Amino acid sequence: MHDHILSKAKTVAVNAAREAGQIQKKHFESFDFVADDKGDHGDIVTEVDLLAERVILTSLKEQFPNHQIRSEETGWIGVEGDWLWLVDPLDGTNNFAIGLPLFGVSLTLLYRQKPVLGVIYETITDKLYIAEQGRGATCNGQQIELIYSTERKPRKMTVGWIQGHAVQKDAGALLLRQFEEHTFKRILRLWAPTLVWCMLAKGTIDGIIVYNSEGDDLYSGVLMVKEAGGVVMDFEGKDFTGMSTEPYLIACHPRDRELMLQLVSEGVKPL
C-alpha cells in the first residue's frame, strides 16, 4: 500500500516541481515580478513564490486529499495524519529577487514525521534531484553519492553554512562561523539551502553546518544526503532522525564524522 502511495507521490511531486520551476524561469528571465517584505528579519516574498505554490498545492490537494501539507507561504493545510508534505515553492527567493540564478523548488513527503521522499528541482540548470528512503538519490536519473578524498585536511575543504532567518547576528552563530572561516578553505553561503544539500549529496562540497534552520526546505536535503551515503547528526554527534523545531546539524561523509564534529565543537563557545 505504501509502495503505491510513494510511487504516485514521486510522479506527482516531480511534475509539480517542474511546473513550478517553469513559472520561476519565465518570470526570472523577464524580471517582471513584485517583491514584498516578509517578517522582521529581512526575508521577502515575491508573486512568483505564490504562483509556484499555487500550482504545487493544487496538485497535492487533488491527488492526496487526505494528506496534510505545510507550505512556505500558506502554512498548514488539512488534518494531521500519518502523511505530511512540506513545500518550499521557491527556495532562494532573495537570490531570485536580485537576479542571482541560484534557486529551486523543494517538496518532501514524510510518513509519521520521517522523510521518505525528497524532490528538489534546480530551475536554471534543469537538474532534478530525487531521494527515496532506502532507494538512494539521483540527479536527472543518475545515481549520486558522496565522494571521499584520501587527503582530508580542513584547509582544503569547502563547507556549506545554513542558518535560519531568525538567527540574524546571533553571537553564537557569528563566533562559530568565524571559527569555521579560519578553519576551512571556504564557508559557502548560498541562501538556497536545498541546493547546498544537493552539492554535498553529489560530492562537490565536503560538509554542511546547519545553525537553527528548521523549515520546509530542510528535510528534502537531509534525506538527499543520507540516501547519497552521508551522515546527518546534531552538534553532539547523535544521528538526526525525524523532525526538530531548532535543528543544529552537521552533515558530511561518514569518514569525516569525527573530524567535522570536533571542528564544530571547538567553534561552539559558551556565551
Annotate 196-218 with DSSP letters as a single string. HHHHHHTTSSSEEEEES--STTT
CB 227 within 8 A of CB 137: yes
Asked if residues 60 and 46 have their Cβ atoms less than 8 Å apart, the reply is no
Side chain identity, residue 216: D
| DSSP 3-state of 138 | strand
Annotated binding site for Mg(2+): 72, 88, 90-91, 217
Binding residues: 72, 88, 90-91, 217
Which three-class secondary structure state does DSSP give residue 135? coil
Query: In which order are the strands placed within the sheet that holds 104-111?
Result: 75-77, 68-71, 83-91, 104-111, 114-122, 127-132, 136-139, 142-143
Distance of CA 98 to the CA centre of its chain: 20
For β-strands 207-211 and 158-163, DSSP reports them as: parallel
- Alpha helix (H) ranges present in the chain? 2-30, 47-63, 93-97, 171-183, 193-201, 219-227, 257-267
Helices 193-201 and 219-227, packing angle to 10 deg: 0
Q: What is the largest CA-CA distance in the chain?
A: 51
